Chain A
Amino acid sequence: MSTIDDITGQIAPSAAKDQHGRGYDGHWALVWQKFRKHKLGVAGGIVVLLAYFVALVPEFLAPVTLESYMPAYSYAPPQPLHWGRDDGEGWRFAPHVNAYNSVIDYNSGRRLFEEDVEAPVYVGLFVRGESYRLLGLIESDIHLFGPIEAGQPFFIAGADRLGRDILSRTIYGTRISMTIGLVGVALSLVFGILIGGISGLFGGVVDNLIQRLIEFIQSVPSIPLWIGLAAAIPQSVPPLQVYFLITIILSVLGWTSLARVVRGRFLAMRNEDFVKAARLDGCGPVRIIFRHMLPSFLSHIIAVVSLAIPGMILAETALSYLGIGLRTPIVSWGVLLQEAQNVRTIAAAPWLLLPGGAVIVAVLALNFLGDGLRDAADPYSD
């Protein structure tokens, strides 16, 4: 019914909206309208944007830089934040944490931490601390939050083995973990569009062969293969190259689902009226693909891409955790989780799992966003 109404609506411009109340907006406006209705998708999108913002400027957001450490605060638990303080003349607002006094308990061999109420570390917003280069360009020493007096202990999420701030390191880890998914997916996308496009365009034997290949790759257990390939990277390779090798390894197996979507859209669209019309108007194949076909399945590609990123993040985290992915000095969530190798360490310092929480939030948000985008990618169906 609605299609007929749509057609009559288009013929009679006086009826500016169809029965669903939709106006005659462009494709992207329709996609946006439909996406906005997917509440979880929007929420996921906001979290993802925030995460990429964190990835852009971790130097500003983290209280301390990666180089900072305090051996006396090895495995220190999170310092509770106090909002105010009674200094004899009554309570006043002064957010602070208390420094720790540590004693070694010789029975368990563990260091015990006690808050020292006499040594408050006042905390503020936009404080001066260690200097850094924002985006590698702007020299600055302002941090979003941290101790007002630089260099004082501030471990709001606890410390690791060497007394480094878990929160700061997790914030820095966002950069690598969130981008490795992007770079990996970008690579997969190149493979996927190329191979999927060839498959959809040529059809016949080529299509059949490529489809069998994709089925085969999808039926191979990926993690053992990933482990195998990642373990093949020699220890002597510099960290930056390891980063790129890992993205290549992830996309070697990751391109298949993208290729499937591209091929499917190609096949479905080859016989659409508007493609036929373009062909009859004398457009060449390149113009048809890029001017007419690509814009209408770009939204599908974006949706598949956002659903492919979480898989890459999970894979990188797992490989790095096993010690065959990224390595220090690169800081990713997986590298940080290496600290939590066994149950005893975790039982003694559960805050080491904070980067794991970041992984879960990022993957959930990307999944919600991808779900919303997938629903919105085809705004013409209900």
Chain B
Amino acid sequence: MGHFMLRRMLYALPALIAVSIISFLVISIPPGDFITRTAELRAAQGDIMPLAEQEAMRRAYGLDQPIPLQYWNWITGIVTRGDFGYSFAFNLPVKDVIWPRMGLTIVLSLASLLFIWAVAIPIGIYSAVRRYTVGDYVATFLGFLGLAVPNFLLALAAMYIAFAGFGLSVGGLFSPEYVEAPWSWERVVDLLGHLWLPMIVLGTAGTASVIRIIRANLIDELHKPYVTAARAKGKGEFALLMKYPVRHALNPFVSGQNDIFVDIVSGGTIVAIVMGLQTTGPLLLDALRTQDMYMAASFILMLSVLVVLGTLLSDLLLAWLDPRIRYQQG
């Protein structure tokens, strides 16, 4: 197991390096930089920024260097000092902005993942065991619907229902008085009170696909000889189901968790923008619009790292569950 873990972690390293290069490249492709954007904005307000001043600012921020050098400075700063560069728009080091946001992103992503498990596993098992019943059809239909509704539309619909139906003003992860407050017990409670709606919105698409995975796998297992053997020995139906076929059907489900986690993190960006959550999404969009490059690159990097780590975790979980994988690759 230790050998396998080590190998798998070494595999993750090139992926992390590639991700960091891509994050930086995406930000560097667009013509112009933060300074030209600022100059344009000022020009729109009738305030001309002299070229000399632009050049001076560019030098001060290190934007006059070639892109590979900028990347090198940025990435060595992150690895050696945990320094993500400087946010031009916020006038703060990126790390001061990024960590609280990343924390909330992780909390929301994990909550959505737990929500998916809690909802989809029982429904998937039910659908497989009671195949072709009304309940199965309803679950399948809802599953398809969950796949077809765009995340942001679901977010809008959820906010509309909460607003028009229950008179709740939703949006954000905190009540106004707690947004800037330091962490306290009341703030955690307030967060939990706001977290459930984005959690459901974000979890819906994943729930749909997990139901389908579990249902398909469990149907394959239900009629295998070992199930008949266990039944012939007089084991109760529910205990039998949980002990053998469900455990079997969970393996492909665990390996499918990568894709679902990628989708949660990825889709979370848009849901957060629509619902105005204090996670990475809205800031990423702003940073991209204003070409606040270190900020944007750091956000994309951190989201990708989150996904790579999630993949690593689910691979390790799968290896722990299924010895065949350990031995085959380890």
Contact = CB atoms under 8 A, between A and B. Distances in A.
Interface of A: 216, 218-225, 227-229, 231-234, 310, 314, 317-318, 321-322, 324, 337, 340, 343-344, 346-347, 350, 353, 356, 359-360, 363-364, 367-368
B150 A225 contact: no
B54 to A, nearest CB: 18
Given A229-B26, A340-B156, A346-B160, A359 B150 contact: yes
A347 B167 CA distance: 11
Most buried by B among A229, A314, A347: A314
B296 interface: yes
A234 B299 contact: no
B289 interface: yes
A234 B30 contact: yes
Contacts of A322: 152, 270, 273, 285
A356 B270 contact: no
Contact of A343 (B19, B160, B299): B160
A225 B22 contact: yes
B106 to A, nearest CB: 13
17 contacts: A216-B18, A219-B15, A219-B308, A220-B22, A221-B304, A221-B307, A223-B267, A224-B300, A234-B30, A234-B32, A324-B285, A324-B289, A337-B153, A343-B156, A353-B157, A360-B153, A363-B147
Interface of B: 15, 18-19, 22, 26-27, 29-32, 144-145, 147-153, 156-157, 159-160, 163-164, 170-171, 258-259, 262, 265-267, 269-270, 273, 284-285, 288-289, 296, 299-300, 303-304, 307-308, 311
Given A343-B156, A343-B171, A367-B148, A219 B262 contact: yes
Contacts of B156: 340, 343, 346, 353, 356
Contacts of B303: 221, 224
A356 B150 contact: yes
A221 B269 CA distance: 10
A220 B150 contact: no
Contacts of A225: 22, 26, 300
A344 B171 CA distance: 12
Most buried by B among A223, A318, A322, A344: A223
Contacts of A218: 259, 262
A230 to B, nearest CB: 9
- Helix, strand, loop or mixed for chain A's interface? helix
A344 B162 CA distance: 12
- Helix, strand, loop or mixed for chain B's interface? helix
Contact of B266 (A224, A231, A324): A224
B29 A343 contact: no
A223 B269 contact: yes
Contacts of B31: 234
Nearest to B157: A353
Given A318-B152, A346-B160, A224 B269 contact: yes
A299 to B, nearest CB: 21
A228 B300 contact: yes
Most buried by B among A229, A318, A337: A318
A318 B262 contact: no
A211 to B, nearest CB: 13
A364 B300 contact: no
Given A219-B308, A318-B270, A232 B26 contact: yes
Contacts of B22: 220, 225
A231 B296 CA distance: 11
B266 A222 contact: yes
B288 A227 contact: yes
A222 B259 CA distance: 11
B160 A347 contact: yes
Given A219-B258, A360-B149, A227 B269 contact: yes
Nearest to B160: A346
Given A219-B308, A346-B160, A347-B164, 5 more contacts: A223-B269, A225-B300, A232-B29, A344-B163, A364-B148
A210 B56 CA distance: 44
Contacts of B265: 221
Contacts of A221: 262, 265-266, 269, 303-304, 307
Contacts of A350: 160
A343 B161 CA distance: 9
